[in-house]
Chains A and B, each alone.
Chain A
Amino acid sequence: MRKGMFYGLLFTAPAILGFAIFTLGPMIASLVLSLTNYNVFKEQTAFTGLEHYVRLFSGEDELFYKSLGITFYFVLLRVPSVILISFGIALLLNLNVKGRAIFRTIIYLPSIVPAVASAMIWMWLLNPDLGLINSLLSRLHLPTSNWLYGESSVIPSVVLTTLWGIGSTVIIFLAGLSGIPRQYYEAIEVDGGGWLHKLSHVTIPMVTPTIFFNTIMTIIGSFQVFNEAYILTQGGPNNQSLFYVFYLWRTGFRDAEMGYASALAWVLFLIILFFTFIVFRSSKSWVYYEGGDRA
């Protein structure tokens, strides 16, 4: 028994230590740093208490509210899109058609393309004058857009570029769908129900745990959007795509204000925690776990 415990701890030690050293340690450090005026280049670091947090919430830092607003808008636009579209695609990929494996591969493929490469592709596709998308639209006599280069179109455009990387969300939905027992559908067939009945009475209730998981992961991922601002827009035009994490990065690594950037990071952490908590709480009323009570 004692020996088993020892080996158990020995084998989990890399994971535990990895977490302690590379996640927990830095987190505590950043919490402490957020209470100081730590600047990488400064020899002296002074304890400033809650000064950074006061500066954030007092409205003195306009870019904080601006970037927060932009990020909320992005989350609001992206999360429902990702969930609906990836669920829709998963339903299609779950059909028993020829070449199903190929379609599944195609959908997942963009997820393994490096973020930088796919951003470059989208920059070309969305180019207002030469891009494929605008030239298709104008050929169909539809209105074109400035996409990433327009103040009002930049956030929807970024959402669009991130949608092509939903492969992993689709895969998780597929796993959820394939876990639904056939008998339920057969029961509906016997009762004379159609595909809509199957969807609303069996499929959706049975995948609510998957929807729940994907929603949480998408919310977290959307709040942390960075690559797109860094590569596609640099926060422009006119600061309309100044995502929160991009602003945080700029504060920490360009301006070297690590203390302030740590405060920004902790505010984001609390925001994400809050929304995750809300979704968890709400899940009691809509997530159904087979073979158990509601969560």
Chain B
Amino acid sequence: MLQPKKSVFLAMALVLMLAAVLSACSKAEPADPGASASSGNAGPKEKITLRMTVWGSPEEVAPYKKAIQNFEAKHPSVKVELQHIAADYDTKLTTMVAGNDVPDIAMMESGTIAFPMAEQGKFYNLQEFLDTDTEISPDTLVPNITYSLEPGNVIGIGPGPESFGLFYNEDIFKDAGIAPPPSNVADAWTWDEFVEVAKKLTVDTNGKTAADPDFDPKKIKQYGANISTWWGVYSNFIYSNGGDFISADGKTFGLNQPEAVEALQKISDLINVHHVSPSPVQSKNIPATNVALQTKKVAMTVDGQWASAALAQSKFNFNVGVMPVMKEPVTTVVCGMFSIFKSSKHPQEAWELLKALLDPEASIDMLTAGTWMPAPKDWYTDPALLAKWTENLDARPSGYKEAIVDVILTKGHQTPTGYVKNFNNIMDLVNPALDKVWLGQQTAQEAMDSIAQKAQAQIKGRRDIKE
């Protein structure tokens, strides 16, 4: 009696498992574009589907949809399926790759999984497309917005470059009778000039400024400056001081070298010596840039140009100047990128879609709102095109053209995530050590020296030089 029961159970279990496995397989089928060509109305050419994944707020996704519409109108045989992954993008994409359910084209972040994927050959080399394309080439794009695994192997192109500037509240300067930050890079403040101004604009609850001997740093009402302790922000000053995350030959850890250490120390001094910038703990109370400036919690702040969008909606007199200069004026250029997966069966169509996504006409709303800057260079150099996204707009105050537009074209520096190999693992050591620097418990030299040996072991070279 026992035997048949066991076999019944086993058979049932097997059948159900098989069913589960099969249904899981068939789910993946539609990814095969051949299978979805059932409509048959596309005439001689079979209709193909491109899948694309993006992250971003609804406002950021809107221009993608517009670009896709433009693209589909021009390419009637192609349908684009947009998959918006709002949260945990990298985790979900990793899972999709693990499950062989890979999109054709995806937005990628240089600081996270883009390079690990590229190292495993997951992406097309876009250089091959750039070489033969008649419409765009690296020279027609803003510098520093293409990402390369190694020289000659482009894995992604950024649709919206971003640089950094010194945003400020004009009224605070007017009331204090202080000249606001210059917008022309030739007139940029030195670091010391910046610190002096920041001191005068840092006010405690008794109305004393940080330049005053009776100043109480424990009761600060208004900070003169806010320099975030995020690498995106402090990298500007490391580069400006001639330092780098890694040596030019890609062999040595760079953050314990004198130039980088000096820059890090000066930022820490803003917090712990001059008391003009909030510490990481205090900055938990500092609202977003637009609110911080509007409510006069902060007089000036170094932030990415994307901050202009929210500032424009806040309706107060804000403006933007160039960041203070340590040795050379430099801005770090950061942006997401579009990459095409090797598994795509339609690389040519995906490339055309990528080009459509780079087209500023499609994302004009994002440009005028202030969130993005365009990718093609002629939108910066051709006065008619430049006017489209920089003139007569709330998000583009008087200093914008000089402090942001001119600077990104001439003084841009690639983001460290784009050329430092193994960046994440190096920063896993650097960030905890820097916590102590921002808290004033260690000097930048001590902190960086303390991890130098371990960081050196994580140095794997640079992507922008041939080995």
Interface residues of A (CB under 8 A from B): 1-2, 5-6, 9-10, 13, 16-17, 20-21, 39-43, 63, 123, 127-130, 146, 149-151, 236-239, 253-256, 258
Q: Is B97 an interface residue (CB 8 A)?
A: yes
Q: Is B134 an interface residue (CB 8 A)?
A: no
Q: Is B280 an interface residue (CB 8 A)?
A: yes
**B117 engages A236 (CB within 8 Å):** no
24 chain-A/chain-B pairs, Cβ below 8 angstroms? A2-B1, A2-B5, A6-B8, A9-B5, A9-B9, A13-B16, A17-B16, A21-B20, A39-B116, A39-B120, A40-B94, A127-B285, A128-B284, A129-B281, A129-B285, A149-B280, A150-B281, A237-B280, A237-B439, A238-B433, A238-B436, A253-B94, A255-B116, A256-B94
Main secondary structure of the interface of B (DSSP, over half): helix
**B120 engages A129 (CB within 8 Å):** no
B121: which of A1, A43, A236, A253 is its contact (CB, 8 Å)?
A: A43
- Chain B residues near A130 (CB, 8 Å)? 285
Docked pose: A17 CA to B121 CA in angstroms: 37
Interface size for chain B: under 10, 10 to 19, 20 to 34, or 35 or more residues? 35 or more
Q: Is B406 an interface residue (CB 8 A)?
A: no
Docked pose: A157 CA to B445 CA in angstroms: 31
**B9 engages A239 (CB within 8 Å):** no
Interface residues of B (CB under 8 A from A): 1, 4-5, 8-9, 12-13, 16-17, 20, 90-91, 94, 97-98, 112-113, 116-117, 119-122, 280-282, 284-285, 424-425, 428, 431-433, 435-436, 439
- Chain B residues near A238 (CB, 8 Å)? 432-433, 435-436
**B17 engages A21 (CB within 8 Å):** yes
Docked pose: A17 CA to B19 CA in angstroms: 12
Q: Decide: A13 near B435, CB < 8 A? Known: A41-B119, A41-B120, A254-B113.
A: no
Docked pose: A40 CA to B102 CA in angstroms: 12
- Min Cβ gap B156→A in Å is 15
- Min Cβ gap A286→B in Å is 40
- Min Cβ gap A20→B in Å is 7
Docked pose: A238 CA to B4 CA in angstroms: 62
- Chain B residues near A40 (CB, 8 Å)? 94, 97-98
**A43 engages B120 (CB within 8 Å):** yes
Q: Decide: A16 near B13, CB < 8 A? Known: A239-B432, A254-B112, A256-B113.
A: yes
Main secondary structure of the interface of A (DSSP, over half): loop
Docked pose: A40 CA to B424 CA in angstroms: 17
- Chain A residues near B17 (CB, 8 Å)? 17, 20-21
Q: Decide: A149 near B281, CB < 8 A? Known: A21-B17, A253-B90, A253-B94.
A: yes
- Min Cβ gap A136→B in Å is 17
Docked pose: A258 CA to B94 CA in angstroms: 11
- Chain B residues near A63 (CB, 8 Å)? 428
**B120 engages A254 (CB within 8 Å):** no
- Chain B residues near A258 (CB, 8 Å)? 98
Docked pose: A63 CA to B425 CA in angstroms: 12
Q: Decide: A149 near B12, CB < 8 A? Known: A41-B122, A253-B91, A255-B116.
A: no
- Min Cβ gap A237→B in Å is 5
B13: which of A1, A20, A41, A127 is its contact (CB, 8 Å)?
A: A20
